[in-house]
Structure 1
Amino acid sequence: MTTRRLSLLVLSFSLLAGLVAASPKLQVVEDADTLTVTRGETTVLAYRKTPLPLPEGVDPVFARTGYIHPLVTPAGGVVTSVYAPDHYHHLGLWHAWVKTHHRGRALDFWNIGGKTAGIRHAAVRETWADATSAGFAVELEHYACKAGTAEVGEIILREVLRVTVREADGVYLVDYDTVTTNVSSAPLELEAYRYGGPLAYRGPMDWDAQNSRYLTSEGLGRADGHATRARWVEMAGPVATPAGRGGVVVMGHPDNRDAPQRVRIWDDGRVFFNYVPAQENAFAINPGATVSWRYRVVVFDGELSVERIEACWDAYTAVEDSAPSH
């Protein structure tokens, strides 16, 4: 075993030990609008059961539910945004398919301004908080719009999203795991396309080419990272904390379809990211079929070294079944 590998394993087990000693103050607070994971009085993240108010003059079709915003660093820096003027449908930490076909109709669950399809929060399944974690399971519905309107028509996919938050050595570990079933009587066909899929992220609107960065597990960045495969992708920029900087590392579990999945990265200065399992090859979700996706988001202040990120990766993948047991 190489010295570097041994060092990474030691750091990995240190992170796992940190999970055992994680603060018991993580909890879930539910109200009519949100499920909020807190640490004491501080927000870690909020899941939207009802829409956030739209900017004035924006089409009400963009008032979606079933996404996470804000996502907050341990020191209190917000690292997501919603309703960016360039893409009103970008919603913090969320997911949706783009180029799909169902019963002969072209449906786009992502670009909801087209009013062909959408996603909505349907129900809270459970919440939990224990000595090492806090989280929730919610049900979402992916639906076709009634022809010519934005009204909800046929439910095609029914999904359970489980979000689990832990603390480990000064970072938050946010597991974003979905189990999706085609509850219709027709296949949902997914075209090969450059974006769309089980996890997407939009960074703060003030992150730009001068003050932010991307880094993939393969050492690529803003200029050359798009459409490449990556075990993890780091995105960082300025936040309003004493450190002045923070960010996220998004990790795709090796058990996911097409892992390590191809990624969507913008090269124009803004920070947007998407794991895209259909970027290269089309596939279908047949009636009654279930697909599962697992991701981890490491939320941090300051800077994370590549060695530390790799240790987080090893901790994520070291346990045979690291999915939440709740």
Structure 2
Amino acid sequence: MKPTLLHAAVFAALVTTHSSAAEIQVEKVDSVLHFSSGGKTICDYQMEAGEVPAGVSAVFKHGAHLHPVYSPSGKLVTGNHPEDHRWHRGIWMAWTKTEFGDAHPDFWNQGKGDGKNKSSDQILAEVRFVKLQKSWGGADSGGFISQHLFLDHSHSPDQKVLNETWEVAVAQKDLDGTPANIIDLTSTQTCASDQPLKLPKYHYGGLGVRGNAAWNPVEAVTMLTSEGHDRVKGDSSKGKWVHIGGQVDGAPTGMAILIHPSNFRFPQPLRLNPKNPQLCLAPSQDGDWSIEPGKPYVSKYRILVFDGAPDAKWIEAQWAAYSNTK
């Protein structure tokens, strides 16, 4: 199926600026939407909750995320169900510290509890895949539009908190001499009732990214922000973009997350995890706020996945091009 006018405009801008766009194939296999080019996987969109690894509690089953994600040469850059945080899930959107009526649903730490292996005996809140509205592949790009639901299970019946739409466009292009896999993600969240979702000040929650397991322990991961900060100095700072990467199969690779200037509290606060290869774009760091009925909350990000060490000037140029898109 063909992309929306929004994504058509975005990719028209990319084609005008850059060249060498590859054909994108899309295939739906059970609950996975698989994107590839030239026989190499670009990324998978896990729709319904997928199976957990052997020995991991079923409470950690999760969907509504991107994983695995690969570089143009075929190097894996994301992680899923890591041993230290079974609820981390590739690239995802979720809120952590919240208030919804008299409840405090945590959509980030899905399945986390005080039991064995930090697992709960039930899922107290979740981000659930609802439906795939459309998907497409083509000569220049592929993508999909899907629906998610933020659910609070602490009440009976379950409380619908947020409806979310993901609009995702996938491409593989040569960007100023560097081959890159490009994932444009637009998340639109709206209240599912007449109650707001209040989001108190907190150090993480928002767009989450978990890196390859090869980048754990944390000394194996590198991070770089648009302000020139590393993982340590960049934590709790703000940025226009942030890169996470490390060695995979003996060579450097990684991904840069570009933040659109229309996003709430841009340049957005960053959570660069001090203990593992994970980061978050965390608007709640700047203080209390809320998602209100009748006021959609829109977040736009471009994920550039490429081989080699990060070049700050090149990433800045790509952010400048992205910042001019609608």
Tell me if both proteins adopt one fold, taking TM over 0.5 as the criterion.
Answer: yes
Cα distance in 2 between the residues matched to 1:26 and 1:130: 5
Q: Which digits, 9 at most, give the CA deviation of each residue in 1:164-190, with x for residues without a partner?
A: 112221111111111111011211111
Q: Which digits, 9 at most, give the CA deviation of each residue in 1:253-273, with x for residues without a partner?
A: 1100000000000223x2111
Q: Does 1:162 align with 2:167?
A: yes
How much has 1:16 moved relative to structure 2? 4.9
How much has 1:20 moved relative to structure 2? 5.1
Q: Does 1:303 align with 2:309?
A: yes
8 Å Cα contact 1:175/1:295 also seen in 2: yes
My pick for the range that moved more, 227-236 or 309-318, is: 309-318
How much has 1:288 moved relative to structure 2? 3.2
8 Å Cα contact 2:225/2:241 also seen in 1: yes
Supply the AA of the counterpart residue of 1:221: D
How much has 1:123 moved relative to structure 2? 0.2
Which residue does 2:230 correspond to in 1? 221
Any unmatched runs of 5+ in structure 2? 1-12, 114-122
Cα distance in 1 between the residues matched to 2:145 and 2:269: 27
Number of residues of Structure 1 aligned to a counterpart in Structure 2: 300
Cα distance in 2 between the residues matched to 1:58 and 1:41: 31
Cα distance in 1 between the residues matched to 2:14 and 2:130: 35
Cα distance in 2 between the residues matched to 1:30 and 1:189: 36
Which residue does 1:52 correspond to in 2? 50
8 Å Cα contact 1:213/1:235 also seen in 2: yes
Q: Does 1:22 align with 2:21?
A: yes
8 Å Cα contact 2:24/2:142 also seen in 1: yes
How much has 1:247 moved relative to structure 2? 0.2
Which residue does 2:294 correspond to in 1? 288
Cα distance in 2 between the residues matched to 1:27 and 1:226: 37
Q: Does 1:253 align with 2:268?
A: no
Which residue does 1:98 correspond to in 2? 96
List aligned pairs for 1:74-85, cutoff 5 A: 74-85=72-83
Match of 1:316 among 300, 322, 325: 322
Which residue does 1:32 correspond to in 2? 30
How much has 1:279 moved relative to structure 2? 1.1
Which residue does 1:174 correspond to in 2? 183
Taking structure 1 as the reference length, the TM-score comes to 0.87
8 Å Cα contact 1:32/1:49 also seen in 2: no
- The alignment partner of 1:83 has SS state of coil
Q: Which digits, 9 at most, give the CA deviation of each residue in 1:204-245, with x for residues without a partner?
A: 1121444331110101012211110010111111123xx722
Which residue does 1:200 correspond to in 2? 208
How much has 1:19 moved relative to structure 2? 4.5
My pick for the range that moved more, 82-91 or 209-218, is: 209-218
8 Å Cα contact 2:214/2:248 also seen in 1: no
Which residue does 1:278 correspond to in 2? 284
Match of 2:131 among 81, 98, 123: 123
8 Å Cα contact 2:101/2:195 also seen in 1: yes
Q: Does 1:191 align with 2:200?
A: yes
List aligned pairs for 1:6-21, cutoff 5 A: 16-17=15-16, 19=18, 21=20
8 Å Cα contact 1:96/1:110 also seen in 2: yes
Supply the AA of the counterpart residue of 1:244: A
Which residue does 1:134 correspond to in 2? 142
Cα distance in 2 between the residues matched to 1:229 and 1:58: 35
Supply the AA of the counterpart residue of 1:56: A
Supply the AA of the counterpart residue of 1:123: K
Q: Does 1:230 align with 2:272?
A: no
How much has 1:68 moved relative to structure 2? 0.7
Which residue does 1:3 correspond to in 2? none
Cα distance in 1 between the residues matched to 2:14 and 2:67: 26
My pick for the range that moved more, 288-297 or 112-121, is: 112-121
Supply the AA of the counterpart residue of 1:245: P
8 Å Cα contact 1:27/1:135 also seen in 2: no
How much has 1:17 moved relative to structure 2? 3.9
Supply the AA of the counterpart residue of 1:168: K
Any unmatched runs of 5+ in structure 1? 1-13, 322-326
Supply the AA of the counterpart residue of 1:181: T
Percentage of matched positions with identical amino acids: 31
8 Å Cα contact 2:15/2:21 also seen in 1: no
